[in-house]
């Protein structure tokens, strides 16, 4: 099993361009697995973790409903936002500057073949990261992601998650609000869940600007530990 994960720092990158890039990596791993099976080979499959921020964009998962987007095309343009119907699980969410997005493209045959466990591990990475900032993040039963004050009238989501998997290869991932403009969430029913708020790390810390690099370093540290993975930067640290 290959537990080396190549980290690629993409910076601020267009959502569709990143999605296409994810798909290319995802397909390359699938093709290699199919070849291994057909030709009875044992070629090593790679793993990747893309770290990125996106310009303002709304994405709708496979179980989403268009009425959960509260803007029409003209209103989207006024807000400099785009919209895509995509192939991950879940409903609608928002991505934008100040939000740290991670896309693990892993062959789970290199780790463990259990999607439920995989999602719980991703949540644990974020939970441990946020605890370093003195917060008390939690899971909310039946709702993927990471929350604060679960079970109270003040429950609020700080990290959304949605994945796709085929032949135990994953794509899509998590989106942690660090310094995000939360006003953009007012234009959707986040994750299709009515009556629950969204928050970000800087708001929880008294509206001080939080270092994206520092948060990313903590995420990578906990990702390596939880998945027992060896992290390697891409040749130039980015693509």
Indicate the helix (H) or strand (E) that contains 207: none
Binding residues: 88-95, 160-162, 173-175
Task: From the candidates 7, 127, 189, 191, give the one annotated as an active-site residue.
Answer: 191
Give the Cα separation of 54 and 210 in Å (integer): 17
Residue in this structure with the two tokens 């361009």, named with its chain if needed: 17
Q: Which residues are annotated as a binding site for substrate?
A: 88-95, 160-162, 173-175
Q: What are the Cα distances from residue 23, in Å, to 2, 17, 34, 87, 172?
A: 20, 10, 16, 10, 9
In 3D space, the residue among 141, 214, 142 whose CA is nearest the CA of residue 176 turns out to be: 214
Q: Is 159 a catalytic residue?
A: no
Task: Show the beta-strand stretches assigned E in the chain.
Answer: 4-12, 48-53, 57-60, 82-85, 92-95, 99-105, 138-140, 143-148, 156-166, 169-177, 197-198, 230-233
**Do the Cβ atoms of 187 and 70 come closer than 8 Å?**
yes
Sign (positive/negative) of CA torsion 137, 199, 122, 217?
A: negative
Phi and psi at residue 58, to the nearest 5°: -110, 135
Residues 6+ apart with CB under 8 A from 142: none
Token output for 44: 């090593």
Catalytic residues: 191
């Amino acid at each position: 099993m290959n537990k080396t994960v190549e980290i690629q720092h993409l910076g601020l990158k267009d959502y569709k361009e990143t999605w296409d890039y994810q798909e290319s990596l995802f397909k390359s791993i699938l093709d290699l697995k199919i070849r291994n099976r057909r030709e009875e080979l044992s070629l090593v499959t790679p793993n990747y973790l893309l770290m990125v921020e996106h310009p303002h964009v709304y994405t709708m998962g496979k179980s989403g409903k268009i009425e959960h987007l509260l803007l029409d095309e003209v209103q989207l343009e006024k807000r400099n936002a785009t919209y895509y119907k995509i192939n991950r699980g879940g409903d609608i969410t928002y991505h934008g500057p100040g939000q740290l997005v991670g896309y693990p493209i892993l062959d789970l045959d290199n780790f463990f073949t259990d999607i439920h466990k995989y999602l719980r591990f991703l949540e644990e990475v974020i939970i441990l990261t946020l605890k370093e900032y003195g917060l008390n993040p939690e899971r909310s039963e039946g709702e993927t992601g990471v929350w604060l004050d679960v079970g109270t009238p003040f429950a609020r989501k700080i990290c959304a998650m949605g994945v796709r998997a085929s032949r135990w290869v994953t794509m899509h991932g998590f989106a942690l609000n660090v310094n995000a403009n939360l006003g953009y969430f007012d234009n959707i029913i986040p994750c299709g869940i009515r009556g629950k708020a969204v928050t970000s790390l800087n708001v929880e810390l008294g509206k001080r600007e939080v270092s994206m690099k520092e948060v990313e370093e903590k995420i990578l540290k906990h990702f390596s530990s939880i998945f027992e993975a060896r992290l390697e930067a891409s040749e130039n640290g980015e693509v």
